[in-house]
Structure 1
Amino acid sequence: MPDFTLRKTMLFVEEIHHDGGPPPALPRRRAAMVALVKNPFAGSWVEDLQPAMEDLKPLGLMMTDRLIEAMGGIEGIDGYGKATMAGERGELEHTALWHVPGGYAMRARLGAAKAIVPSAMKIGGVGTRIDIPLGHINAAYVRSHFDAMEVGVPDGPKADELLFALAMSRGGRIHSRMGGLEAADVKGEDGLR
């Protein structure tokens, strides 16, 4: 079992009260959580990385639970996304370790989520920031929910660390008016519409 020692977590919560035009009836809330963990594969070549995804599932569930709490409960959460960054001794493929644990955790806790969990991956040094893409949880074509939340940690990721991130949102962009499928019209059958 690889050692993904947890060094630090950070929680980010935004309430957007205004974004031009009239104020919304309710503020839009977005939250993200990041975790810095030791990258047991940093600086070495490992052929089979896939089994390590199973080891990260408890971290994904813990982060998801904390995010739901920060969002004020599960009610109304309709957007999600994930991101990963490897420190300088890691490789981009190490960031792909988060695909299953991050997506699995949010789907398990949010229930009937059908849409793919948008994802971003990169390599960066200490203090590098990353955008977590957001999309609707049941329909990838809901344009009002296309968004991103930027996060970063001042002292990470170190060269031998991974930064794992999850994000959730409640509601689309304030004053979204770019057409396309409206959230109210989502059928939620295939993850697209």
Structure 2
Amino acid sequence: MSSCKDWEDGEPPAVITCEYDSQETISFINFGLKVPEYTGQFFDMAFGINYASSDRTIYFLTEVLETKGNQAPENVADAEIRFITDGDNCVNTGKFNFQAGDPEVGATSIVAPAPSTRWTGDVKITIRTDAFYSEHDNTAITVTWIKQENNPDNIIEGNLNGQKMPYRMDPQAVIIPTPIYGGGTLN
């Protein structure tokens, strides 16, 4: 029996830790950030989305980060770039966050720290809006877009579909749906 890789007796070659002292530009082309339905009037008004329109799309990364919500005491909008190495050339997951005003974030690109050594694996991008009150859910929500792929050109092409997520200021808090019934009566 043999494996797909050459096998030799002795110690396996040492795998080095990825050093994130280089930069790569992640470019978004022919894309839009599709907003799900029922995000609420505050969200739609803040992003200039006409509820009746079928084009519920945000076209600029900077708009996602800079648009302030009405539910959080501070801006929770961010973009995260994560390099997930497969360990063949170097090991270590690099995770980098960007907020409103960061000069690395452009309208359709993000310049992120990247491994300076040769590496293989995936790049995962997560973009999240600030928190907004949604009357449809009677809670605070954010919209999140996630894309993970192995793309050596660092180009994200096409639309990304967003997901509406409940937002909790205290991650330990339990969200209790309304209305609350206790002992057969509405509390």
Same fold? TM cut 0.5: no
Structure 1 length-normalised TM: 0.31
More helix by share: 1
Structure 2 length-normalised TM: 0.32
Report the structure number with the largest CA radius of gyration. 2
